[in-house]
């Protein structure tokens, strides 16, 4: 993907009522994973727009279309829709016959509520099967615990459009409440090809110290986290278990690890994503085969020693939230 040419437009879902839409603590149309995704796409050099659709609690296709068409869409555009945003994009692409680079539908919806006239009009339209001939790639995200009507909606759209289905566990309808996080790295990796993908472990003890690797005199950077590259076909959890065995000479189980998020950076024009796991332990010493070994240091000490690219402040904030 040529980030200089590619542009991403994300269309949010539709809240159930005005109160949910307007209350900044509960509104659903510009929250969840959308701000996180936009922030990281821009960091990685991808121009990204997240337009707010008019009165989304009473979705109206013509109003959505008028707002959406303020933005340029061409053959290098990636369109992403969440829930009813997916329905709008599919309808618009069928109506306009537009060619785009990629279409990503997250928890797509096609079945209207029986007593909601706005949603009946919004969702009731024939899906143009020729859309798939005008799009480079189609991806649909669903979850094992999605609502039955959501699963049926996915089936309807996939039968017409084809494409790749990605089913994640425990993500529900891909809202913050369902996912328990604003991060959505699986979607980010569909959009951006990373130069470097790592899974890292952060051992932490009851003194609120973490174990980092002392590499001084061996390789740069002088200090770093334990872990390494995610191999093809591996999940981040599988990778961190393997790397922990190789670097710390211990066997950890998946249930002993706490995934607490990603660290995404641009460094020397390389795009890096690191999946971070904490591991609570009172073990003082580990048989580290590389470098000078490991040192237990406080958050402040670690922050002083790591290179800027490690963005430790962000990692520390996430660690402090772990109970």
In which domain, by residue range, is 95 found? 7-191
Domain boundary among 175, 191, 207: 191
83: closest CA among 113, 63, 49? 113
- So what's the pLDDT on residue 5? 82
Q: What is the pLDDT of residues 218-272, one digit of tens each?
A: 888 899 999 999 999 999 999 999 999 999 999 999 999 999 999 999 888 899 9
Same domain assignment for residues 289 and 156? no
How far is residue 256 CA from its own chain's centroid?
Answer: 23
Q: Please give the structure tokens belonging to residue 152.
A: 């049926």
Same domain assignment for residues 204 and 176? no
CATH number at residue 150: 3.40.50.1820
Same domain assignment for residues 143 and 286? no
Number of domains in the chain: 2
Same domain assignment for residues 13 and 65? yes
Q: Please give the structure tokens belonging to residue 251.
A: 């066997």
Task: Indicate the pTM of the whole model.
Answer: 0.91
Same domain assignment for residues 184 and 203? no
Mean pLDDT on 306-312: 79
Same domain assignment for residues 276 and 135? no
- So what's the pLDDT on residue 95? 97
314: closest CA among 276, 272, 266, 269? 276
301: closest CA among 279, 318, 323, 316? 316
DSSP letters along 211-225, please? EEEE-TTTSSSSEE-
Same domain assignment for residues 175 and 214? no
Contact 57, 77 (CB under 8 A): no
How far is residue 53 CA from its own chain's centroid?
Answer: 22
Same domain assignment for residues 114 and 259? no
Q: Answer yes or no: is 249 within a domain.
A: yes
Give exposure, 209-225, as e/b (b: 16+ Cβ within 10 Å): bbbbbbbeeeeeebbbb
Q: Answer yes or no: is 56 within a domain.
A: yes
- So what's the pLDDT on residue 201? 96
Mean pLDDT on 38-42: 96
- So what's the pLDDT on residue 2? 47
Kindly give, in sequence order, each residue whose CB lies less than 8 Å from that of residue 120, ignoring residues fewer than 6 positions away.
112, 113
Q: How confident is the model at residue 323 (pLDDT cuts 50, 70, 90)?
A: low
Q: Please give the structure tokens belonging to residue 52.
A: 């707010």
Q: What is the dihedral of CA 218, 223, 227, 229, to 10 degrees?
A: -70
Same domain assignment for residues 173 and 261? no
Q: What is the pLDDT of residues 187-197, one digit of tens each?
A: 999 999 999 99
């Amino acid at each position: 993907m040529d980030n200089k040419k590619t542009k991403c437009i994300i269309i949010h879902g539709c809240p159930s009522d005005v109160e949910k839409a307007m209350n900044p603590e509960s509104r659903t149309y510009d929250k969840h994973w959308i701000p996180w995704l936009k922030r990281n796409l821009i960091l990685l050099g991808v121009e990204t727009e997240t337009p707010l659709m008019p009165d989304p609690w009473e979705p109206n296709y013509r109003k959505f279309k008028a707002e959406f068409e303020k933005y340029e869409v061409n053959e290098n555009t990636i369109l992403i829709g969440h829930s009813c945003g997916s329905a709008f994009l599919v309808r618009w692409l069928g109506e306009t016959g537009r060619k785009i680079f990629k279409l990503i539908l997250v928890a797509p919806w096609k079945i209207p509520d029986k007593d909601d006239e706005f949603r009946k009009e919004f969702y009731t339209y024939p899906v143009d099967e020729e859309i798939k001939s005008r799009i480079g790639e189609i991806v649909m995200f669903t979850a094992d615990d999605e609502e039955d009507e959501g699963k049926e909606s996915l089936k309807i759209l996939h039968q017409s459009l084809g494409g790749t289905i990605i089913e994640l566990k425990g993500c529900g309808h891909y809202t913050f409440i369902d996912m328990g996080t604003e991060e959505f790295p699986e979607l980010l990796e569909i959009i951006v090809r990373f130069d470097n993908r790592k899974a890292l472990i952060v051992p932490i003890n009851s003194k609120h110290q973490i174990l980092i690797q002392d590499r001084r005199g061996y390789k740069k950077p002088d200090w770093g986290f334990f872990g390494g590259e995610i191999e093809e076909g591996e999940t981040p959890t599988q990778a961190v278990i393997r790397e922990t065995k190789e670097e710390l000479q211990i066997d950890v189980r998946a249930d002993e690890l706490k995934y607490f998020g990603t660290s995404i950076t641009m460094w020397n024009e390389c795009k890096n994503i690191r999946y971070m796991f904490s591991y609570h332990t009172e073990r003082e010493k580990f048989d580290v085969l590389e470098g000078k070994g490991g040192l237990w240091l406080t958050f402040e000490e670690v922050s002083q020693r790591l290179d800027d690219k490690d963005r430790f402040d962000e990692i520390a904030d996430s660690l402090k939230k772990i109970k």
